[in-house]
């Protein structure tokens, strides 16, 4: 059953849920499964070579006729290529992360592309809305991957008070209770990453999924703070090596050398000891692998139950 906020109209979806643009994880297969399940599936451009991303954008149209998105990671050297591909393929929705999306908004808005920056502070939210963003994802520090400093519980209501476009809450949401909480904070939708890594359609390595299924409430840590790009991931040998670098106040080159290629190593090769197993603090809530459509249905069913109980 449909669950409606302003986002449903903006994105032409049945459930106000976006799948996070997870580098190496969010491909056409996962994104199509989420879109077919009534949410907004998102392909991650990340550092994907343009010719491969081009193929993914062709592929998703063969897998779904529903709207979908492309996430452009602004730190990436391939961000400009991703922007060109978004234009060429007339991607309905573009989300951005890890930087200032002014240029992306300028280039994509005239053609009617919905642009939704992921932000981690009130100042950044205000700036992108002034630049023409259609909505914002307010991403709290519970999230996996590259994070800001403020938790979802504190960030979302402050962003809601600061802007008039729809706010999508991200970070710490893996079930219907999280959706209900996000709505209570004033969000009109949610973005979910970690839970969808254990979608049946997700092509991440089995070892990555296994490690997530075994994770608990204290399984994640944040590495790389000295680089200015802190990253939340599951604790393993790599995160311990990063902690050692921090203790010895190593130079930035040493962080870069240790970090290079680590996400691919975990997601594609399944090296969950020495790869970067990015995941949010809700890792401990992920207990099974099931189809993305079922994950969405069950999340909104539970949200409805919780909201009904609270209303009584
Ligand atoms: O971007 C993400 N999450 C990511 S990107 C990523 S790949 C990566 N790997 C290693 C190092 C860095 C990235 C894995 N996960 N989320 C969106 C997000 N954006 N989180 C935080 C921000 C952010 C931070 C600072 C956005 C803007 C910003 O400052 C821009 C400004 O102009 O103030």
Q: What is the pLDDT of residues 170-192, one digit of tens each?
A: 999 999 999 999 999 999 999 99
Is a pLDDT exceeding 80 seen at residue 163? yes
208 in a domain, yes or no? Answer: no
Alpha-helical runs (H) found in the chain: 6-11, 28-36, 50-63, 79-88, 102-108, 122-130, 152-162, 176-184, 194-197, 206-214, 237-247, 252-259, 262-267, 292-311
- In this structure, the answer to whether residues 231 and 111 fall within a common structural domain is no
213 in a domain, yes or no? Answer: no
- In this structure, the answer to whether residues 53 and 191 fall within a common structural domain is yes
- In this structure, the answer to whether residues 54 and 170 fall within a common structural domain is yes
Residue in 13, 42, 47 with CA at minimum distance from that of residue 29: 42
Band (3; pLDDT cuts 50, 70, 90): confident
211 in a domain, yes or no? Answer: no
- In this structure, the answer to whether residues 80 and 147 fall within a common structural domain is yes
CB 176: neighbour CB atoms within 10 A?
18
305 in a domain, yes or no? Answer: yes
Residues in the chain: 312
Band (7; pLDDT cuts 50, 70, 90): very high
49 in a domain, yes or no? Answer: yes
Residue nearest to atom 15 of ligand 1 (CA): 145
Query: Across residues 13-39, what is the average pLDDT?
Result: 98
253 in a domain, yes or no? Answer: yes
| Range of the structural domain that residue 182 is part of | 6-203+287-311
Query: Across residues 140-149, what is the average pLDDT?
Result: 97
Instruction: Supply the pLDDT for residue 23.
Output: 97
- In this structure, the answer to whether residues 121 and 17 fall within a common structural domain is yes
| Rounded distance from Cα 181 to ligand 1 centre (Å) | 24
CA distance 71 to 22: 8
Q: How many domains is the chain partitioned into structurally? A: 2
Helix pair 50-63, 79-88: axis angle to 10 deg: 40
| Rounded distance from Cα 91 to ligand 1 centre (Å) | 22
Choose one of 20, 98, 127 to mutate for the ligand 1 pocket test, by most ligand atoms within 8 angstroms of C-beta. 98
Residue in 54, 101, 98, 94 with CA at minimum distance from that of residue 76: 98
Band (250; pLDDT cuts 50, 70, 90): confident
Instruction: Supply the pLDDT for residue 2.
Output: 82
Model confidence over 290-303: pLDDT tens digits? 999 999 999 999 99
- In this structure, the answer to whether residues 124 and 149 fall within a common structural domain is yes
Model confidence over 198-210: pLDDT tens digits? 999 999 999 999 9
Pocket lined around ligand 1, Cβ cut-off 6 Å: 23, 73, 75, 97-100, 118-120, 124, 139, 145-148, 229, 231, 278
Band (272; pLDDT cuts 50, 70, 90): very high
- In this structure, the answer to whether residues 293 and 168 fall within a common structural domain is yes
Query: Across residues 93-107, what is the average pLDDT?
Result: 96
| Rounded distance from Cα 145 to ligand 1 centre (Å) | 8
Instruction: Supply the pLDDT for residue 38.
Output: 98
- In this structure, the answer to whether residues 84 and 33 fall within a common structural domain is yes
Is a pLDDT exceeding 80 seen at residue 1? no
- In this structure, the answer to whether residues 148 and 34 fall within a common structural domain is yes
- Residue 56: which CATH number? 3.20.20.70
Contact 291, 33 (CB under 8 A): yes
Instruction: Supply the pLDDT for residue 177.
Output: 98
104 in a domain, yes or no? Answer: yes
- In this structure, the answer to whether residues 116 and 247 fall within a common structural domain is no
- In this structure, the answer to whether residues 110 and 171 fall within a common structural domain is yes
- In this structure, the answer to whether residues 21 and 109 fall within a common structural domain is yes
Instruction: Supply the pLDDT for residue 128.
Output: 98
Instruction: Quickly tell me which residue has 């710490």 as its tokens.
Output: 172
82 in a domain, yes or no? Answer: yes
Residue nearest to atom 19 of ligand 1 (CA): 98
Instruction: Supply the pLDDT for residue 169.
Output: 98
Model-level pTM greater than 0.95? yes
Residue in 283, 299, 292 with CA at minimum distance from that of residue 203: 292
């Amino acid at each position: 059953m449909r669950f409606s906020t302003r986002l449903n109209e903006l994105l032409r979806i049945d459930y106000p849920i976006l799948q996070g643009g997870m580098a190496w994880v969010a491909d056409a297969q996962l994104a199509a499964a989420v879109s077919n399940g009534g949410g907004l599936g998102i392909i991650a451009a990340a550092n994907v070579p343009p010719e491969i991303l081009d193929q993914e954008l062709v592929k998703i149209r063969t897998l779904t006729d529903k709207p979908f998105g492309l996430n452009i990671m602004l730190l990436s050297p391939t961000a400009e290529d991703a922007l060109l591909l978004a234009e060429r393929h007339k991607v309905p929705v573009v989300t951005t992360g890890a930087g200032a999306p002014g240029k992306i908004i300028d280039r994509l808005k005239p053609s009617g592309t919905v642009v939704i920056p992921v932000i981690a502070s009130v100042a950044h939210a205000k700036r992108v809305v002034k630049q023409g963003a259609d909505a914002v994802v307010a991403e709290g520090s519970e999230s996996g991957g590259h994070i800001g400093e403020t938790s979802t519980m504190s960030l979302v209501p402050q962003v809601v008070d600061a802007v008039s476009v729809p706010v999508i809450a991200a970070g710490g949401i893996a079930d219907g209770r999280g959706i209900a909480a996000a709505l209570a904070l004033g969000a009109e939708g949610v973005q979910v990453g970690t839970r969808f890594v254990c979608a049946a359609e997700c092509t991440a390595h089995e070892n990555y999924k296994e490690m997530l299924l075994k994770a608990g409430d204290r399984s994640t840590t944040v590495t790389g703070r000295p680089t200015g790009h802190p990253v939340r991931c599951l604790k393993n040998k790599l995160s311990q090596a990063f902690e050692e670098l921090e203790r010895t106040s190593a130079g930035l080159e040493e962080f870069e050398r240790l970090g290079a290629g680590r996400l691919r190593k975990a997601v594609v090769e399944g090296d969950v000891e020495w790869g970067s197993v990015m995941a949010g603090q809700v890792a401990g809530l992920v207990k099974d692998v099931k189809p993305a459509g079922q994950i969405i249905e069950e999340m909104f069913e539970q949200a409805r139950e919780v909201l009904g109980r609270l209303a009584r």
